[in-house]
Structure formats: structure tokens, C-alpha cells
Chains A and B, each alone.
Chain A
Amino acid sequence: MSDNAESPTETQKDDPSIQHAATEHTGASDEKKKIDVLLKAVGDAPIMKTKKWSVERGRTVQSLAQFISRFLKLEASEQLFIYVNQSFAPSPDQEVGVLFECFGSDGKLVLHYCKSQAWG
């Protein structure tokens, strides 16, 4: 699939702070306003066609979850659970930048998402 950063999904138009991650990275990660997030599906959650996203540090877990739900066209009634390190569910108001600082590896934050509670 093409890596066109301008791909016109309506979710992207609403969320300029979430973009396809560029394939090249320049600059020190401390100074970058955005961090790379890798989204992995768990259980029966649909797999996102684009898994790697560039997200502003100040973005909350809740708003990222809403973005994923809209992108996957989930029903309003369907819940989405997000996990870090396959071990804990961060608070919805937690900033992804903080999670990246503490739990990022290889320059990205890996988040697992599922429609039911996976790791309690």
C-alpha cells in the first residue's frame, strides 16, 4: 500500500496531530514534537492497515483511542482498550509523550489495542 502522507481519510482531516510516520527520522527524539507510535491489534480487534503513526506528544490516550475507533469504523457502543508493554492500561488522560519517554523502545511506543479487556 502506498505511504502517501496526504491519503484523504476523513479522520486524518480532523486530526492533524496524528499523521503517517515518515520513513526517515531526523533530529534528536527529545526535540521532536511528535513521537512514533506502533499500533498492534489483539484478539478480534481489526488490524489497522497503517500501523505506524506520528503523534504529537501532548495527545492523550483517550483521543488516540477515539482516532483508532473512528479509523476502524467501530460502533459507538464498542469499547477500545489500550495497553502499554502488554501489561497496563494507561489512564485516558495520560499523554502519549510521557508514555514514550518511559516505555518507548527503538524510537517508538508500541501500543496494543483490543475490544475487550486483555491484561486486566
Chain B
Amino acid sequence: RKVIMADDKDVLRDVWFGRIPACFTLSPEETTEREAEPYYLLLPRVSYLTLVTDKVKKHFLRVMKTEDVEEMWFEYEGTPLKWHYPIGVLFDLHASNTALPWNVTVHFKNFPERDLLHCSSNSVIEAHFMSCIKEADALKHKSQVINDMQKKDHKQLWMGLQNDKFDQFWAMNRKLMEYPTEEGGFRYIPFRIYQTTSDRPFIQKLFRPVSPEGHTLTLGDLLKELFPAAICAEDEPKRFQVMIHGIEPLLETPIQWLSEHLSHPDNFLHISIIPAPSD
């Protein structure tokens, strides 16, 4: 049985309570009856846009005619923002090296069908969230842990996220972070590597946290195998930043530790690879 140490628990809290200050502005293409003021909001990194922007919608609906209002969607500098990606991932990927607040444009028309999934209600978000957790557990534990949990336990994971209740969420999530001691870690690490310049949405492959010889594998080992361009020699200038929750973890960090502590509530380690800023 793994014991979560006091310092490690602080990391879990820091991840959960991470926030991004955002400024929502109505698209100039939208027709309004009065001028629309921008709306400022602190966004939880670990949540989803459509789950936390009811106030944004209410704010802009006040200046719009009902017939002009369809499903709300968001865009940053021309790129539609996928609500089903965690907010922190979207920010790190698209805007991490720009000045705060994050300037997001709000739309109520011309929904980009090819870029975005529809989100008609919170149950769509819940279904997506739970599917991610199930997929992660299929990789970590051959679905054994998630299947052993009851329906009410699954509901608790969702309610914890929806209501921003760290203790309620982790009371259940800690079971998904356990593994048989003799294994040294999960069967495979649930992770996704994102890059804006790629034509593929993300890289996701099977990766064991422990080598066949029993060595603890690191973030560097993962990148060497799946994104070697992110690893550069000591005398070379860094071309890419490897970002998780807005920070660049040391490449020597064990991937098992990252999976247990820096995963999102969906149990995936979301890694953003962005061009290093050239100052």
C-alpha cells in the first residue's frame, strides 16, 4: 500500500486549485442590442470551459436578442477552443507565454462543427469526464479498480470536480492511484502529448513506468521515445518547453510520480509541448 506523504499532498492541492485569470469578450461579429462589456473570471485549470462559464453566458445574453443566440463557443486568436480538453491544457498550449489575463472570445453563432464537439448539457461533460477516467484505468489497472467501484463512487468523482470539492474527489480518486507494491507502478501510464503545430490532435501510446530491467523511468525517458526533439544537448539552445500544469517539471522526474501527482482529475497526464520563447 502506497502512503501519500505530506509534501506530495500539497502538490495535489496546488494542482487542483490552480487558476487562470481570463477575460471574456464578445465577438465583434455578434449583433447586440447594447454594448457588451468584457467579463473577467478565474478559471480552474483542471475543469472544462463549458462547466465553469454559466456566468459568462448570462452576462452576454443580457445584451443579445434571443433569436441571435445558439450554442456558446470560445475561441482564442482564431482557434476554436475544445471544451472537452481541460482548461489548463488549452491555456498552456495556446497562451502560456502571453500576458495575462487570457483573452478569450465568445461566440453564439456559426458553431465550428469540424473543430468542436457540441455540449448541450452538463451530462455531456460528465459522460466525457467519466469516459476519460475509465480509459485511464483501462491503461493503469486493466479497468479493475474502476469496475470494483460502485456507481455512487463514480458519481462522487464527478460531483467533486463539478463542485470544486478536493476532499470529496480525492477520497475516491486515491483508489485509482494505488498499485500492487511488487509492480512498482501502474501497468501503463495514461498520458497525452499535445503540440499546436502537429496535424494530429495528440500523441498517446503504451508506456510502462518501469523498464524490463526494473528501472524507474522518467519524463525524459518518455520524451526520448515519443518526442525526442524536446530533449536537447547541454550546449544546444532549448527549442521546446515541456509543460504540465503551467510548469516545466525536471526531465529526471519519475513518470510514475508525475502520473500520481500531476494528472488531471480525468487521471490523464496532459503534456503540452510549445516552442520555447525566443527572448
Query: Are A and B associated in one complex?
Result: yes
Asked if A91 meets B117 with Cβ closer than 8 Å, knowing A102-B204, A102-B205, the reply is yes
Indicate whether B206 reaches chain A with its CB closer than 8 angstroms. yes
CA distance A93 to B200 in the complex (A): 11
Indicate whether B22 reaches chain A with its CB closer than 8 angstroms. no
Q: Which of A19-27, A44-52, A82-90 contacts B (4 or more CB under 8 A)?
A: A82-90
Asked if A84 meets B135 with Cβ closer than 8 Å, knowing A91-B128, A95-B200, A101-B204, the reply is yes
* Residues of B74-133 whose CB lies within 8 A of A: 84, 117, 127-128, 130-132
Distance (Å) between the CB of A107 and the closest chain B CB? Answer: 15
* Residue in B131, B139, B146, B147 with the greatest tally of chain A CB atoms within 10 Å: B131
Is B84 within 8 A of A101, CB to CB? Answer: no
Indicate whether B201 reaches chain A with its CB closer than 8 angstroms. yes
Determine the chain A residues whose CB is within 8 A of the CB of B205 once the complex forms.
98, 101-102
Chain B interface mostly: helix
CA distance A88 to B201 in the complex (A): 20
Distance (Å) between the CB of B220 and the closest chain A CB? Answer: 22
Q: Mark A29-62, 1 if CB is under 8 A from B, else 0.
A: 0000000000000000000000000000010000
Residues of A that sit less than 8 Å from B by CB: 58, 84-85, 87-93, 95, 98, 101-103, 119-120
CA distance A85 to B140 in the complex (A): 14
Q: Which of B138, B146, B204 contacts A98 (CB 8 A)?
A: B204
Is B117 within 8 A of A102, CB to CB? Answer: no
Residues of B that sit less than 8 Å from A by CB: 84, 117, 127-128, 130-132, 134-135, 138-139, 143, 146-147, 151, 154, 188, 200-202, 204-206
Residue of A nearest to B206 (CB): A102
Distance (Å) between the CB of A52 and the closest chain B CB? Answer: 23
Is A101 within 8 A of B206, CB to CB? Answer: yes
Determine the chain A residues whose CB is within 8 A of the CB of B154 once the complex forms.
120
Determine the chain A residues whose CB is within 8 A of the CB of B151 once the complex forms.
120
Determine the chain A residues whose CB is within 8 A of the CB of B202 once the complex forms.
98
Determine the chain B residues whose CB is within 8 A of the CB of A119 once the complex forms.
134
Determine the chain B residues whose CB is within 8 A of the CB of A91 once the complex forms.
84, 117, 128, 131-132
Is B138 within 8 A of A84, CB to CB? Answer: yes
Residue of B nearest to A86 (CB): B143
Distance (Å) between the CB of B71 and the closest chain A CB? Answer: 16
Determine the chain A residues whose CB is within 8 A of the CB of B132 once the complex forms.
91
Is A95 within 8 A of B206, CB to CB? Answer: no
Distance (Å) between the CB of B22 and the closest chain A CB? Answer: 24
Asked if A88 meets B117 with Cβ closer than 8 Å, knowing A95-B201, A101-B205, A102-B205, the reply is no
Distance (Å) between the CB of A19 and the closest chain B CB? Answer: 22
Query: Besides A88-B138, A89-B131, A98-B205, 19 other CB < 8 A contacts?
Result: A84-B138, A85-B138, A85-B143, A87-B134, A88-B131, A88-B135, A90-B135, A91-B84, A91-B128, A91-B132, A92-B117, A98-B204, A101-B206, A102-B204, A102-B205, A102-B206, A103-B138, A120-B134, A120-B151
